[in-house]
Amino acid sequence: MQNYHWLIYLVAFFVGFSTSILTTPLAKKISIKFGAIDKPKKRGVSKREVPRLGGIAIILGFMASMLVLIPFVEEFRTLQFAGIAAGALIIAILGIFDDIKDLNSKLKFFVQLIASLIVVLSGTRIEMIVWPVLESNPIIQTFSIPLTIMWIIGVTNAVNLIDGVDGLAAGVSSISSLFIMVLCILTGEPLAVIFSAALAGSSLGFLPRNFNPAEIYMGDTGATFLGFVLAVTSVMGLFKTYTLLAILIAILVLALPILDTLSSIIRRLINHKPIMSADRGHFHHRLIDSGFTQKQTVFILYAVTAIAGIISILIVVANPLVSAVGITFLFVVWALVNVYRKSHKNDKEQ
């Protein structure tokens, strides 16, 4: 794979950023025209109606970066890129229809499965996870396709689940994209660097109008697209290089959406509720219910995402002592937040 000049990465970022920030007002008009308006919900935090097709701006920003760079990037003229582009386009169209019509969850899962399968069959997959005692075990390779599909669908929906507070999904996706970009630079995967740079720019370009108080939401259109591209990029840039550590690194850099999703699944199973049911048990809901403002909640979760990303980079550069300190610091921060949450809750009850 050819190594590209840093100027290519900058172009990917700034084209995504400028296109997204310029087309967000257009996305708002389209939302109003098609009636894609988010109304206040009992479990939600917004008390007003907000257009929810903002994800169109993120998609346009990302696609604009790809179009501008096609003449300069050889990998954009391969079957692998065609498969990724086709899968991303399917997810984008699905999200738009879902924001307008509120589609059935089974239908959405089926379409996500098709999009993921296209990506995998075009050459993007978790080829092998090397375990210490199973270094050449062909059984691991046998599960390559289902593992990749599970990862892509899982991360796609995980990012969608954290899109419950103004600016959270866009900001977390931006931070995660930037860390994936750095990790992919370290691993020598330039195509993944371009993807993550374009996605970071597109997300950041949308963020000013999405930050609290948001004038537009990204909706499922943006959240599932972000999750899908993050998942595919992590497979391209992380899983093919770091064997057993790939799992830890990928989970760390996408820690917030993954842990929030796992927490939601476990919580609903314990309470004997459908896994896909909605509730106010997400991390952002708990922080807000504990007395944090929306902005404070978002900044706390930004910080957690950034710390997890830093730890993933420290692991890659093989500094175990610093990595251990970083992981400890992450748990300390999270513990302090929980202590504040519980003490504030007790104060309110007294």
Please give the distance of CA 327 from its chain centroid, rounded to a whole number. Answer: 21
Residue 334 pLDDT exceeds 70: no
pLDDT tens for 228-274 read 999 999 888 877 654 445 566 777 777 778 877 777 777 777 776 76
The three-state secondary structure class of 163 is: coil
Mean pLDDT of 309-325: 69
Identity of residue 188 = G
> How many Cα neighbours within 13 Å face the side chain of 66?
22
pLDDT at position 132:
44
Q: Which residues contact 45 (CB under 8 A, 6 or more apart)?
A: 164, 165, 166, 284, 285, 288, 294
User: Are residues 52 and 217 in contact, defined by beta-carbon separation less than 8 angstroms?
Assistant: yes
Q: Which residues contact 344 (CB under 8 A, 6 or more apart)?
A: 290, 291
pLDDT at position 350:
45
pLDDT tens for 184-201 read 888 778 889 999 999 999
b (16+ CB within 10 A) / e for 50-73 = bbbbbbbbbbbbbbbbbebbeeeb
pLDDT tens for 144-172 read 889 899 999 999 998 988 887 889 899 99
Mean pLDDT of 273-283: 66
pLDDT at position 98:
94
Strands 37-38 and 50-51: antiparallel
For the chain, give the percent of residues with pLDDT over 90. 41
Q: Which residues contact 19 (CB under 8 A, 6 or more apart)?
A: 57, 60, 61, 64, 65, 202, 205
Q: Higher model confidence: residue 307 or residue 136?
A: 307
Mean pLDDT of 279-290: 71
pLDDT at position 131:
46
Residue 281 pLDDT exceeds 70: no
Residue 340 pLDDT exceeds 60: no
Mean pLDDT of 302-311: 84
Mean pLDDT of 315-331: 62
Measure the CA–CA gap between 309 and 302, rounded to whole angstroms.
Answer: 11
Measure the CA–CA gap between 82 and 84, rounded to whole angstroms.
Answer: 6
Q: In this structure, what token pair is assigned to residue 321?
A: 């002592």
> How many Cα neighbours within 13 Å face the side chain of 246?
21
Choose from 47-61, 121-135, 253-267 the range with maximum mean pLDDT: 47-61
pLDDT at position 11:
95
Q: In this structure, what token pair is assigned to residue 270?
A: 């314990």
**Residue carrying structure tokens 């922080």:** 287
Measure the CA–CA gap between 218 and 104, rounded to whole angstroms.
Answer: 19
Q: In this structure, what token pair is assigned to residue 347?
A: 């104060």
The per-residue DSSP string of 62-105 comes to HHHHHHHHTTT-GGGGSHHHHHHHHHHHHHHHHHHHHHHH---H
Count of Cβ atoms closer than 10 Å to residue 120 Cβ: 22
DSSP E strands, the chain? 37-38, 50-51
User: Are residues 218 and 262 in contact, defined by beta-carbon separation less than 8 angstroms?
Assistant: no
Count of Cβ atoms closer than 10 Å to residue 135 Cβ: 11
Residue 223 pLDDT exceeds 60: yes
pLDDT at position 20:
97
Give backbone dihedrals phi and psi of 278, rounded to 5 degrees, phi first. -95, 150
pLDDT at position 328:
64
Count of Cβ atoms closer than 10 Å to residue 190 Cβ: 20
Confidence of residue 275 (pLDDT cuts 50, 70, 90): low
User: Are residues 229 and 81 in contact, defined by beta-carbon separation less than 8 angstroms?
Assistant: no
Q: Which residues contact 171 (CB under 8 A, 6 or more apart)?
A: 203, 207, 211, 298, 302
